[in-house]
Amino acid sequence: MLHRYRFRAMGSPCTLHLHGSTRHDTDRLARDCVAEVRRLEAKYSRYADDSVTARINRSAGEPAGVVVDEETAGLLDYAATCFAQSEGLFDVTSGILRRVWDLKSGRVPAREEIEALLPRIGWQRLRWERPRIVLPVPGMELDFGGYVKEYAVDRVAELCRQRGAGHGLVDLGGDLAVVGPHPDGSPWRVGIRDPRRRDAALLRVDVFGGGVATSGDYERCMVVDGVRYGHVLDPRSGWPVEGLASVSVLASHCLIAGTASTVAMLKGRADAARWLEALDLPHVRLDRDGTLTRRLAPLRRAA
């Protein structure tokens, strides 16, 4: 029997889909899964004064920096790898641009406001010598928000497997990981959201295992004088990217799918295709002009 557990975390509606003979069998596992998501939310929140993120950011300008735990070190190693492989596009220091890009305000910041922040952006400016991280520029910040939700998805899926749950789906705000296919071996039918029609799907994909993530210009955006400004910001220029409305990626892990989709958005229309095809990742791209591109094949093994 399929049981669903709905909750809210990391600013998103979340659902656990777990198969079990009775709800009692899945209730405790669901509670532990929700607790794991909330642990990661508290640990890496940019809003909590006692989070790891806040502690690192308070150290900006201090030569000694901060020594981090093993889990955080792993996330920083991943950020370093993504920065290198994306040629600087995936940059966890670019969150500081939120200071001028308030998408609820309906105001486009002046170019001077954006350029004033650029000297504080750039993974290459910091020093990461495991387990110590140093932000040498006063006011520099790290933001794990660009990939910690996808990491949480994978953590919860793995927790389910460790606890003997072989059939389920983890959904944190549309970022997904398959614990295992349905008990009869059939795949999960996953909808790829239409970025221009809320609660509508562009298409549906059969997913047997792995993760699915989407990046787009629709969830957090504003339209000013007929121009759409999304939340995906180019760390080099400080301006929202153009060309693509959304990119959805299927990968062995939700974390990989999430970073690949984000980088694809940052690369823009032409380079996104080359990037994703070089990685050999199944994906769906929707250009702002409405052109839909599909490169899909079902993932048949759980991570």
pLDDT at residue 300 above 50? no
* Residue 47 located in a structural domain: no
- What's the total number of domains in the chain? 2
Are 10 and 105 found together in one domain?
A: no
What is the 3-state secondary structure of 215-249?
EECCCCEEEECCEEEECCECCCCCCECCCEEEEEE
CA 166 to each of CA 21, 32, 282: distance values in angstroms, whole numbers, following the listed order: 12, 16, 24
- For residue 144, name the pLDDT band (cuts at 50, 70, 90): very high
Q: What is the CATH number of the domain that holds 87?
A: 1.10.3980.10
Q: How many Cβ atoms are within 10 Å of 242's Cβ, its own excluded? A: 16
How far is 109 from 100, CA to CA, in rounded Å?
6
How far is 150 from 41, CA to CA, in rounded Å?
12
Are 154 and 110 found together in one domain?
A: no
pLDDT at residue 125 above 70? yes
End of a domain among 88, 109, 142?
142
Terminal alpha carbon distance of the chain:
23
Are 285 and 161 found together in one domain?
A: yes
Are 84 and 126 found together in one domain?
A: yes
Q: CA nearest 81: which of 174, 149, 9, 147?
A: 147
pLDDT at residue 12 above 50? yes
Collapsed DSSP state (helix, strand, coil) of residue 200:
coil
Average confidence score pLDDT of the chain: 92
Please tell me which residue, 29 or 104, carries the higher pLDDT value: 29
Chain centroid, CA 71 distance in Å: 17
Full residue range of the structural domain in which residue 68 is found: 52-142
pTM of structure: 0.94
